[in-house]
Amino acid sequence: MATLRDIKRRIKAVKNTSQITKAMKMVAAAKLRKAQGRMLELRPYSDKIYEVLGNLSKAGDSEAHPLLLKRHPKTVEVVVFTSDRGLCGAFNSNIIKAAVSFVRELKAKELQVSINAVGRKARDYYKRRDIALRQVLTGISGKVNYQLARTIAGDIMENYTAETFDEVYLVYNEFKNVVSQQVKVVKLLPFEAGAPAAEPAAQPETVDYIFEPSAAGLYRVIIPKAVEIKVFRALLESQTSEEASRMTAMENASKNAEEMIQNMTLVANKVRQATITRELMDIVGGVEALKK
């Protein structure tokens, strides 16, 4: 059985850990508010650009841009969005499990799969399993911006146009609320202009558009922008979900630390009482011996 000194040492260590987890929870909460605000501001814009492209695709040539061309899939790129750091509950493990399951489905269809790892956790997972990574991007925690999304999307669009792969999918956590995030597997390319991110409540009537200068000219500007916005949304959704998961994990860790402190304090009191009782018994026994 542990001595009273050992128990007190453990209580002190758990208290120190509890202070750290509480501080990390406060930091994650502050980052969550900022990331959630940016994400909520982007969602309407992202949905609207898909709605506009959906309307344009009904009136224009759906093959007016190379990113709209559908090829018979032989090679598929899977972009996996994880975090650079841990201590965020099941955030990373849920994404990786979904990505592994999806890749398994693709390989069952005899498709070649390449991995694009965004985040250190995805990179480390695939490196430990000697799986080749076509592209790796790390060090992005707290540094998500539109330029980063443009860099990722630009590389993907360049390789898709060069027919390095025939389809591209994004795997990321979509933010629902602080305690709930949902893993999403979304097709990025070929770009499906007729499938907006959020279907409107009432379908508008089809409009006969007049294109100026041309449908191809509009697609040349809007479609790359829409791809960048889709990647940017995945980054923001992932960042917001990460901070929400970390805040929840640190809150649970703090509660567990408090329970451990209470339990160890109870054990320490019992040990102290047993020690005092034993010492009293020794004193009483010594007094009785002196009387004899």
Asked, for residue 147, whether it belongs to a domain, the answer is yes
CA distance 36 to 42: 10
CATH number of the domain that residue 72 is part of: 3.40.1380.10
Asked, for residue 10, whether it belongs to a domain, the answer is no
pTM of the model: 0.82
User: Tokens 């758990």 map to which residue?
Assistant: 14
Asked, for residue 130, whether it belongs to a domain, the answer is yes
Whether residue 88 lies in the annotated active site? yes
Which among 64, 76, 88, 215 is annotated as catalytic? 88
User: Tokens 């956790």 map to which residue?
Assistant: 121
Q: Which of 46-50, 95-99, 197-201, 215-219 ranks highest by mean pLDDT?
A: 95-99
**Does residue 57 contact residue 193 with C-beta atoms inside 8 Å?**
yes
Asked, for residue 201, whether it belongs to a domain, the answer is yes
Nearest-10 Cα torsion for 153, 156, 160, 164 = 170
Kindly give the pairing relationship between strand 167-177 and strand 180-189. antiparallel
- SS3 (DSSP) at 133: strand
pLDDT of residue 205: 55
Does residue 198 register a pLDDT over 90? Answer: no
| Interacting residues of 210 by C-beta distance below 8 A, sequence separation 6+ | none
Cis bond before residue 204 (omega within 30° of 0) = no
Cα angle 18-24-30, degrees, rounded to a multiple of 5:
140
Q: Which tokens sit at 18?
A: 């509890």
**Does residue 142 contact residue 125 with C-beta atoms inside 8 Å?**
no
Kindly give the pairing relationship between strand 112-118 and strand 167-177. unpaired
Asked, for residue 181, whether it belongs to a domain, the answer is yes
Does residue 75 register a pLDDT over 50? Answer: yes
Can you give the residue range of the structural domain that contains 87? 23-248
Number of domains forming the structure of the chain: 1
Band of the pLDDT at 235, cuts 50, 70, 90? very high
Asked, for residue 165, whether it belongs to a domain, the answer is yes
Higher pLDDT, 58 or 80: 80
Half-sphere exposure (CA, 13 Å, Cβ side) for 81?
29
The mean pLDDT value for 195-217 works out to 58
Cα angle 8-13-15, degrees, rounded to a multiple of 5:
95
Nearest-10 Cα torsion for 31, 32, 33, 35 = 80
Asked, for residue 126, whether it belongs to a domain, the answer is yes
